[in-house]
Structure 1
Amino acid sequence: MTEIAKKTKRYPSDLTDEEWERMAPLMPKPGRRRLREVDFREVINAVRYLVRSGCGRRMLPTNFGPWQTVYGWFRELARRFLFQTIHDIALMIDGERAGREASPTARVIDSQLVKAPHAGTRGYDAGKKVVGRKRHIAVDTDGRLLMVKLTPADISDVPAPRRSWKRSANAGLG
Protein backbone atom coordinates (compact mmCIF):
# COMPACT_ATOMS: atom_id res chain seq x y z
CA MET A 1 0.00 0.00 0.00
CA THR A 2 2.82 2.45 0.79
CA GLU A 3 4.37 1.80 -2.64
CA ILE A 4 1.10 2.76 -4.33
CA ALA A 5 0.82 5.91 -2.22
CA LYS A 6 4.36 6.97 -3.15
CA LYS A 7 3.70 6.58 -6.88
CA THR A 8 0.56 8.70 -6.90
CA LYS A 9 -0.26 12.13 -5.56
CA ARG A 10 -2.39 11.81 -2.44
CA TYR A 11 -3.18 15.51 -2.20
CA PRO A 12 -3.34 18.25 -4.84
CA SER A 13 -0.53 20.05 -2.99
CA ASP A 14 1.93 17.11 -3.33
CA LEU A 15 5.10 17.64 -5.35
CA THR A 16 5.31 16.26 -8.86
CA ASP A 17 8.28 14.06 -9.76
CA GLU A 18 9.69 16.88 -11.92
CA GLU A 19 9.49 19.37 -9.05
CA TRP A 20 11.14 16.94 -6.65
CA GLU A 21 13.97 16.13 -9.08
CA ARG A 22 14.93 19.82 -9.15
CA MET A 23 14.55 20.31 -5.37
CA ALA A 24 16.21 17.14 -4.09
CA PRO A 25 19.81 18.37 -4.55
CA LEU A 26 19.03 21.38 -2.33
CA MET A 27 18.07 19.28 0.68
CA PRO A 28 20.55 18.87 3.57
CA LYS A 29 22.90 15.90 3.43
CA PRO A 30 22.97 13.32 6.27
CA GLY A 31 25.17 14.34 9.19
CA ARG A 32 28.18 12.42 10.46
CA ARG A 33 26.66 11.66 13.85
CA ARG A 34 23.32 10.24 12.77
CA LEU A 35 21.68 9.15 9.58
CA ARG A 36 18.85 11.21 8.20
CA GLU A 37 15.67 9.34 9.04
CA VAL A 38 13.25 11.61 7.27
CA ASP A 39 12.01 11.74 3.67
CA PHE A 40 12.41 15.39 2.68
CA ARG A 41 9.88 15.00 -0.10
CA GLU A 42 7.29 14.19 2.54
CA VAL A 43 8.39 17.17 4.65
CA ILE A 44 7.93 19.53 1.68
CA ASN A 45 4.61 17.84 0.83
CA ALA A 46 3.49 18.35 4.44
CA VAL A 47 4.47 22.03 4.44
CA ARG A 48 2.68 22.59 1.13
CA TYR A 49 -0.38 20.78 2.52
CA LEU A 50 -0.41 23.01 5.62
CA VAL A 51 -0.08 26.19 3.58
CA ARG A 52 -2.70 25.15 1.03
CA SER A 53 -5.27 23.76 3.49
CA GLY A 54 -4.76 26.35 6.21
CA CYS A 55 -4.93 23.76 8.98
CA GLY A 56 -2.76 23.91 12.09
CA ARG A 57 0.45 21.90 12.22
CA ARG A 58 -0.95 19.67 14.98
CA MET A 59 -3.81 18.71 12.66
CA LEU A 60 -1.44 17.36 9.97
CA PRO A 61 -2.62 13.99 8.59
CA THR A 62 -0.63 11.10 10.05
CA ASN A 63 0.59 9.82 6.67
CA PHE A 64 3.04 12.77 6.59
CA GLY A 65 4.65 11.55 9.80
CA PRO A 66 4.70 13.15 13.25
CA TRP A 67 3.92 16.86 13.16
CA GLN A 68 6.88 17.52 15.48
CA THR A 69 9.28 16.08 12.89
CA VAL A 70 7.73 18.11 10.08
CA TYR A 71 7.83 21.29 12.17
CA GLY A 72 11.44 20.71 13.22
CA TRP A 73 12.60 20.26 9.64
CA PHE A 74 10.46 23.20 8.50
CA ARG A 75 12.34 25.42 10.98
CA GLU A 76 15.70 24.06 9.83
CA LEU A 77 14.90 24.58 6.13
CA ALA A 78 13.58 28.09 6.86
CA ARG A 79 16.80 28.89 8.73
CA ARG A 80 18.73 27.89 5.62
CA PHE A 81 16.49 30.12 3.43
CA LEU A 82 15.57 27.15 1.22
CA PHE A 83 11.89 28.07 0.88
CA GLN A 84 12.64 31.07 -1.37
CA THR A 85 14.70 28.80 -3.63
CA ILE A 86 11.99 26.14 -3.62
CA HIS A 87 9.39 28.80 -4.50
CA ASP A 88 11.54 30.06 -7.39
CA ILE A 89 12.03 26.54 -8.76
CA ALA A 90 8.29 25.79 -8.59
CA LEU A 91 7.58 29.14 -10.28
CA MET A 92 9.97 28.35 -13.13
CA ILE A 93 8.57 24.83 -13.62
CA ASP A 94 5.00 26.14 -13.65
CA GLY A 95 5.92 28.87 -16.16
CA GLU A 96 7.63 26.37 -18.46
CA ARG A 97 4.64 24.02 -18.17
CA ALA A 98 2.40 26.89 -19.31
CA GLY A 99 4.62 27.43 -22.35
CA ARG A 100 6.24 30.62 -21.07
CA GLU A 101 9.80 31.59 -20.28
CA ALA A 102 11.18 30.33 -16.97
CA SER A 103 11.69 33.87 -15.67
CA PRO A 104 8.63 36.13 -15.85
CA THR A 105 8.97 39.12 -18.16
CA ALA A 106 5.81 40.99 -17.12
CA ARG A 107 4.56 41.79 -13.62
CA VAL A 108 1.50 43.25 -11.98
CA ILE A 109 2.15 45.15 -8.74
CA ASP A 110 -0.45 46.34 -6.26
CA SER A 111 -0.44 47.46 -2.66
CA GLN A 112 -2.91 47.39 0.17
CA LEU A 113 -2.97 49.48 3.31
CA VAL A 114 -3.47 47.52 6.52
CA LYS A 115 -4.31 49.20 9.82
CA ALA A 116 -1.68 48.30 12.41
CA PRO A 117 -1.74 50.88 15.20
CA HIS A 118 0.19 48.67 17.65
CA ALA A 119 2.77 47.15 15.27
CA GLY A 120 6.46 47.77 15.88
CA THR A 121 7.14 49.16 12.40
CA ARG A 122 4.37 51.29 11.03
CA GLY A 123 3.79 54.63 9.37
CA TYR A 124 1.09 57.21 8.77
CA ASP A 125 -0.54 57.43 5.34
CA ALA A 126 -1.59 61.08 5.16
CA GLY A 127 -3.77 60.53 2.08
CA LYS A 128 -5.96 57.90 3.76
CA LYS A 129 -5.32 59.12 7.32
CA VAL A 130 -4.40 55.64 8.54
CA VAL A 131 -1.62 54.35 10.80
CA GLY A 132 -0.34 51.01 9.61
CA ARG A 133 1.61 49.07 7.01
CA LYS A 134 1.42 48.46 3.29
CA ARG A 135 1.54 45.09 1.60
CA HIS A 136 3.13 45.26 -1.84
CA ILE A 137 2.37 42.14 -3.88
CA ALA A 138 3.68 41.33 -7.34
CA VAL A 139 2.38 38.56 -9.59
CA ASP A 140 3.16 37.55 -13.14
CA THR A 141 0.51 37.82 -15.84
CA ASP A 142 -0.84 34.35 -14.95
CA GLY A 143 -1.24 35.27 -11.26
CA ARG A 144 1.81 33.43 -9.90
CA LEU A 145 3.19 35.10 -6.79
CA LEU A 146 6.56 36.73 -7.38
CA MET A 147 7.11 39.01 -4.39
CA VAL A 148 5.55 40.17 -1.14
CA LYS A 149 7.00 43.20 0.61
CA LEU A 150 5.82 44.85 3.83
CA THR A 151 6.59 48.54 4.37
CA PRO A 152 5.40 51.26 6.73
CA ALA A 153 2.30 53.02 5.43
CA ASP A 154 4.16 56.29 4.87
CA ILE A 155 6.32 54.75 2.09
CA SER A 156 5.07 55.69 -1.36
CA ASP A 157 3.77 52.95 -3.65
CA VAL A 158 6.40 53.72 -6.29
CA PRO A 159 9.85 53.40 -4.60
CA ALA A 160 9.17 50.34 -2.41
CA PRO A 161 8.51 47.85 -5.21
CA ARG A 162 11.32 49.29 -7.34
CA ARG A 163 13.90 48.66 -4.61
CA SER A 164 12.60 45.12 -4.13
CA TRP A 165 12.63 44.43 -7.87
CA LYS A 166 16.22 45.57 -8.19
CA ARG A 167 17.22 43.10 -5.46
CA SER A 168 15.15 40.26 -6.94
CA ALA A 169 16.46 40.97 -10.46
CA ASN A 170 20.00 40.62 -9.13
CA ALA A 171 18.97 37.33 -7.51
CA GLY A 172 17.71 35.99 -10.86
CA LEU A 173 13.97 36.59 -10.54
CA GLY A 174 13.44 39.13 -13.17
Structure 2
Amino acid sequence: MTTLFGMFPFLKKLFVDSGYKGPKFANALAKLRPHIEIEIVKRSDQVSSFVVLPKRWIVERTIAWLNRCRRLAKDWECLNRKALAFLRLASIRFMLRKLCNPA
Protein backbone atom coordinates (compact mmCIF):
# COMPACT_ATOMS: atom_id res chain seq x y z
CA MET A 1 0.00 0.00 0.00
CA THR A 2 2.93 2.32 0.54
CA THR A 3 3.72 2.14 -3.18
CA LEU A 4 0.10 2.93 -4.02
CA PHE A 5 0.12 6.09 -1.95
CA GLY A 6 3.55 7.03 -3.30
CA MET A 7 2.24 6.84 -6.86
CA PHE A 8 -1.07 8.54 -6.06
CA PRO A 9 -0.50 11.06 -3.24
CA PHE A 10 -3.74 12.86 -4.12
CA LEU A 11 -6.00 9.99 -2.95
CA LYS A 12 -8.58 11.20 -0.44
CA LYS A 13 -11.10 8.37 -0.28
CA LEU A 14 -10.68 4.61 -0.46
CA PHE A 15 -13.67 2.47 -1.46
CA VAL A 16 -13.37 -1.02 0.00
CA ASP A 17 -15.37 -4.22 0.19
CA SER A 18 -17.10 -5.25 3.42
CA GLY A 19 -14.26 -7.73 3.96
CA TYR A 20 -12.03 -4.80 4.94
CA LYS A 21 -14.21 -3.49 7.75
CA GLY A 22 -12.75 -3.70 11.19
CA PRO A 23 -10.07 -2.01 13.25
CA LYS A 24 -7.07 -3.93 11.87
CA PHE A 25 -7.33 -2.46 8.35
CA ALA A 26 -8.38 0.98 9.60
CA ASN A 27 -5.44 1.20 12.02
CA ALA A 28 -2.93 0.07 9.38
CA LEU A 29 -4.27 2.66 6.95
CA ALA A 30 -4.26 5.38 9.60
CA LYS A 31 -0.56 4.73 10.20
CA LEU A 32 0.23 5.09 6.50
CA ARG A 33 -2.11 7.94 5.58
CA PRO A 34 -4.19 9.44 8.40
CA HIS A 35 -6.09 11.83 6.11
CA ILE A 36 -7.65 9.16 3.84
CA GLU A 37 -11.31 8.39 4.39
CA ILE A 38 -12.49 4.78 4.13
CA GLU A 39 -15.91 4.07 2.63
CA ILE A 40 -17.22 0.51 2.78
CA VAL A 41 -19.45 -0.38 -0.18
CA LYS A 42 -22.11 -2.65 1.31
CA ARG A 43 -24.53 -4.91 -0.47
CA SER A 44 -28.18 -5.04 0.48
CA ASP A 45 -29.51 -8.24 2.07
CA GLN A 46 -33.09 -7.41 1.06
CA VAL A 47 -32.46 -7.64 -2.70
CA SER A 48 -32.70 -11.18 -4.10
CA SER A 49 -31.59 -10.41 -7.66
CA PHE A 50 -28.39 -8.94 -9.10
CA VAL A 51 -27.88 -5.28 -8.27
CA VAL A 52 -25.00 -3.15 -9.50
CA LEU A 53 -23.17 -1.66 -6.53
CA PRO A 54 -21.83 1.86 -6.99
CA LYS A 55 -18.04 2.24 -7.27
CA ARG A 56 -17.54 -1.50 -6.95
CA TRP A 57 -18.79 -2.06 -10.48
CA ILE A 58 -16.03 0.15 -11.90
CA VAL A 59 -13.36 -2.19 -10.55
CA GLU A 60 -15.15 -5.35 -11.74
CA ARG A 61 -15.68 -3.87 -15.20
CA THR A 62 -12.03 -2.82 -15.51
CA ILE A 63 -10.78 -6.27 -14.50
CA ALA A 64 -13.11 -7.83 -17.09
CA TRP A 65 -11.76 -5.49 -19.79
CA LEU A 66 -8.17 -6.33 -18.89
CA ASN A 67 -8.91 -10.07 -18.93
CA ARG A 68 -9.90 -9.77 -22.58
CA CYS A 69 -6.16 -9.71 -23.31
CA ARG A 70 -5.18 -13.36 -23.61
CA ARG A 71 -1.76 -12.77 -22.07
CA LEU A 72 -3.38 -11.62 -18.82
CA ALA A 73 -5.88 -14.49 -18.61
CA LYS A 74 -3.28 -16.69 -16.89
CA ASP A 75 -0.25 -16.01 -14.74
CA TRP A 76 2.58 -16.58 -17.20
CA GLU A 77 5.01 -14.10 -15.68
CA CYS A 78 7.47 -15.08 -12.96
CA LEU A 79 8.36 -11.51 -12.02
CA ASN A 80 5.90 -8.94 -10.71
CA ARG A 81 7.69 -6.27 -12.71
CA LYS A 82 6.99 -8.15 -15.93
CA ALA A 83 3.33 -8.75 -15.03
CA LEU A 84 2.90 -5.04 -14.28
CA ALA A 85 4.42 -4.17 -17.66
CA PHE A 86 1.86 -6.35 -19.44
CA LEU A 87 -0.96 -4.80 -17.39
CA ARG A 88 0.22 -1.37 -18.49
CA LEU A 89 0.40 -2.48 -22.12
CA ALA A 90 -3.14 -3.84 -21.93
CA SER A 91 -4.35 -0.59 -20.38
CA ILE A 92 -2.63 1.47 -23.07
CA ARG A 93 -4.18 -0.73 -25.76
CA PHE A 94 -7.60 -0.32 -24.19
CA MET A 95 -7.30 3.48 -23.94
CA LEU A 96 -6.03 3.79 -27.53
CA ARG A 97 -9.04 1.84 -28.76
CA LYS A 98 -11.35 4.16 -26.83
CA LEU A 99 -9.64 7.25 -28.22
CA CYS A 100 -9.41 6.06 -31.84
CA ASN A 101 -12.89 4.52 -32.09
CA PRO A 102 -15.33 6.93 -30.43
CA ALA A 103 -18.79 5.44 -30.13
Query: Shorter-normalised TM-score: what interval?
Result: under 0.3
Q: Which has the higher contact order (CA 8 A, sep 6+)?
A: 2
Higher Cα Rg, which structure: 1
Length-normalised TM-score, structure 2? 0.27
Q: Which protein has the bigger helix share?
A: 2
